[in-house]
Amino acid sequence: MKNLNLFGLILIISATFKSCAQQETTKHETKTDSTMTQKEFKTNEEWQKDLTPNQYYVLRQKGTERPGTGEYNLHFEKGVYNCAGCKAPLFKSDSKFDAHCGWPSFDAAISDSTIIEIVDKTHGMIRTEIVCANCGGHLGHVFNDGPTETGIRYCVNSASLGFEDKK
């Protein structure tokens, strides 16, 4: 009888952990609006052909550029930051700020449908990865420590971005 109670307790604990793990999975739904109707699908060979080695490392292999080395870290011109993989618009320049973290930082995406958030449990941490909703390219991570009224800091690799000047 004592073994049966212990077995029941183990089953309950196991089910609880499984339930918690499922709840943490993510907000990985795809949202669409008029700007994000077509998804970009390519083979790895096509991505390697179309991207620089550093862009491929960041966008397709979920790499991270060294802090302070990216082209757009201290870039504050007026325009739109696009995905370097598929050219989808991601951020307006007026949402960019200097977070002094070594990567371009933004407090808002162009729209709710341009970025997908995914729970990232790599490197012994729990963070929220951000990917392009159009092509699935890794952009960086989002944090709830932004200094503006949104409280958000999208921390983005320069290699995942392109820029369209709006002078």
Q: What residue has token string 């550029």?
A: 65
Q: How far is CA 60 from CA 44, 85, 149, 150, 152, in A?
A: 8, 9, 32, 29, 24
Reply yes or no on whether 155 is catalytic. yes
Tell me the residue type at 27.
K
Q: What residue has token string 């729970």?
A: 119
**Beta strand spans in 22-166 (E):** 79-83, 89-92, 96-97, 105-106, 115-120, 127-132, 138-143, 153-156, 161-165
Angle at 99 between CA 149 and CA 151, to 5 degrees: 20
Q: 86, 132, 135, 155: which is the annotated catalytic residue? A: 155
For residue 41, pLDDT beyond 90 = no
- Domains along the chain? 2-165 (2.170.150.20)
Dihedral angle, C-alpha 79, 82, 88, 94, nearest 10 °:
-40
Name the pTM for this structure: 0.76
Looking at residue 5, what is its pLDDT? 55
Looking at residue 18, what is its pLDDT? 35
Output helix, strand, coil percentages for the chain, rounded to the nearest 5.
Answer: 25, 25, 50
Angle at 48 between CA 44 and CA 50, to 5 degrees: 115
Residue 124 region, left (φ>0) first, then alpha (ψ -120 to 50), else beta? left
CA dihedral over 140, 142, 148, 150, signed as positive or negative: positive
For residue 96, pLDDT beyond 80 = yes
6 vs 152 pLDDT, higher one: 152
Looking at residue 39, what is its pLDDT? 74
Averaged pLDDT, 61-79: 96
